[in-house]
Amino acid sequence: MLAGVRVVSFTQFLLGPSGVQFLADLGADVVKVEPPGGRLWERNWSGADLFKNGVSVFFMLAHRNQRSLTLDLKHPEGRAVARRLVERADVLVQNFRPGVMARHGLDWETAKAINPRLIYVSASGYGESSPYRDRPGQDLLMQGLSGLASISGRADQPPTAVGTAVIDQHGATLLALGVLGALLERQRTGSGVHVEVSMLRAALDLQIESATYFLNGARLEKTETPLASTFHPPPYGIYPTRDGHLILSMSPLAQLAEALELPALRDLAKPGWNFESREAVARLVEPLIRTRATAAWIERLVPAGVWAAAVNDYAETFADPAVQAADAVEEISHPVAGPVKLLRFPLEFSTGRAGVRLMPPGPGQHTDAILSELGYDDAAIARLRKDGAV
């Protein structure tokens, strides 16, 4: 779908690489620019300290279908190579802190002068004009600043963080969406576009429902019950069972009372969604749900039309028939790491499903080929290597 679109990626950590990987999965020709010597941060770190034959799993999860070019942006010849990349690129993506690309002569205004049709994406923690522009932008920090941690969990417990980098990944999705929109705008006008993505805006956008209620006068008060949301009607929550936890979502109370065989709950049921009975419903339902195993409740409630689901751990999730049918995991055979399981591109089209065309690359694996495409001959490439520019 994006075949022929050339993307230059000056990205690191998760939001930038994952957003670029979406473009790569859609067929774009992505050149990952990284410092020489394997110094890229995500090559030397991985969550859970998980490396396979010395290869970072963190790097591999967001760098498939890309080529690697090593480049020292502090070296004059390295910057000259970068300018050649910009000249022929359709899209440049960078997520350095504001000001870093300007020091390398690769900021939006300079890049636009080199290539007026360039789509230039700046991703950062807070935005280039934010008073917090120089602060580190990281998922957990954003969960706190944006209020996300404050609305999760119970009133009798500390604020609760989401257990994965949800803001990074939503920001990555917005990044890819911005690129697609900008490419269409360029097709219409012939001119390049600057796209700005911030983790803070991504974090707020994740909360479009709850934040909008708050901004329009709702009181979002947590309770000391299993209720999982401050603004949904009962029984919306996560309830302990005999052997795990059960989610009950938005089901009419009369229907739920019949399925649970709980007459006292039927007495609380009134026309509408019964917002005023949220805590009373949760306190009635909680002790009953504790009496059976999760699977027993699923077998009883789902056929009755109650919106219910088990709380799975990852082992249960990836063994679940629905997840297996979603074909969400692909195992690759990496030339160094060996067998590695990765989550697949999440969209499916009538024309097919995106797969792995290129393995996550080694440091500078494609440097010579890319330099050759940029017009450097063998002697020039050897000189760049000798000088430490690549």
Instruction: Answer yes or no: do 292 and 383 share one domain.
Output: no
Structure confidence at residue 78 as a pLDDT band (50, 70, 90): very high
3-class secondary-structure state, position 116: coil
Which domain CATH number covers 79?
3.40.50.10540
Residues 19 and 162 in one domain: yes
Q: What percent of the chain has pLDDT over 70?
A: 100
CA 261 from centroid of its chain's CA atoms: 42
Residues 48 and 174 in one domain: yes
d(CA 226, CA 250): 14
Confidence of residue 39 (pLDDT cuts 50, 70, 90): very high
Give the pLDDT confidence of 328-343 residue by residue, as tens digits.
999 999 999 999 999 9
Do 251 and 190 have their domain in common? no
pLDDT at 80: 98
Look at residues 228, 238, 237, 235 and name the one whose alpha carbon lies nearest to residue 253. 235
Task: Assess if residue 224 is contained within a domain.
Answer: no
Residue among 9, 57, 13, 25 at smallest CA distance from 344: 25
Mean pLDDT of 10-34: 99
Mean residue pLDDT of the chain comes to 97
Residue 215 counted as domain residue: no
pLDDT at 230: 87
Q: How would DSSP label each residue in 13-75?
A: TTHHHHHHHHHHHTT-EEEEEE-GGG--GGGS--GGG-EETTEEHHHHTT-TTEEEEE--TTS
Tell me whether strands 193-198 and 338-343 are parallel, antiparallel or unpaired. Answer: unpaired
> What pLDDT, in 10s, does the model give residues 104-156?
999 999 999 999 999 999 999 999 999 999 999 999 999 999 999 999 989 99
Question: 347 and 292, same structural domain?
Answer: no
Q: Model confidence over 200-238: pLDDT tens digits?
A: 999 999 999 999 999 999 998 899 999 999 899 999 999
Q: Does residue 146 share a domain with residue 94?
A: yes
The reply to whether 383 and 260 lie within a common domain is no
Any domain includes 56: yes
The answer to the question of residue 324 being in a domain is no
Residues 153 and 291 in one domain: no
CATH number of the domain enclosing 298: 3.30.1540.10
176 CB burial (10 A radius; 0-12, 13-18, 19+): buried
- What count of Cα atoms within 13 Å lies in the side-chain half-sphere of residue 89? 28
Residue 7, phi then psi, degrees to nearest 5:
-120, 130
Question: Where in the sequence is the domain holding 361, given as residue range(s)?
Answer: 6-206+341-387
Claim to verify: residue 13 and residue 72 sit in the same structural domain? yes
pLDDT surpasses 90 at 10: yes
In a domain, residue 243? The reply is yes
Considering the domain architecture, whether residues 273 and 147 belong to the same structural domain is answered as: no
pLDDT band at 355 (very low <50, low <70, confident <90, very high): very high
Q: Which two tokens stand for residue 14?
A: 């998760």
Alpha helix locations (H) across the chain?
15-25, 57-60, 76-88, 100-103, 108-114, 139-145, 166-189, 199-206, 208-215, 253-260, 263-268, 278-289, 294-301, 314-319, 321-325, 367-373, 378-387
Residues 287, 360: one domain? no
Burial (CB count <10 Å: 0-12, 13-18, 19+), residue 191: exposed
The model scores a pTM over 0.85: yes
Residue percentage of the chain with pLDDT more than 90: 97
Q: How confident is the model over 308-320, as pLDDT tens digits?
A: 999 999 999 999 9
Is 244 inside a domain boundary? yes
Measured between its terminal Cα atoms, the distance across the chain in Å is 31
Rounded average pLDDT over 252-261: 96
163, pLDDT greater than 90: yes
Residue 217 lies in a domain: no
Domain count, the chain: 2
In a domain, 83, yes or no: yes
Same domain assignment for residues 182 and 52: yes
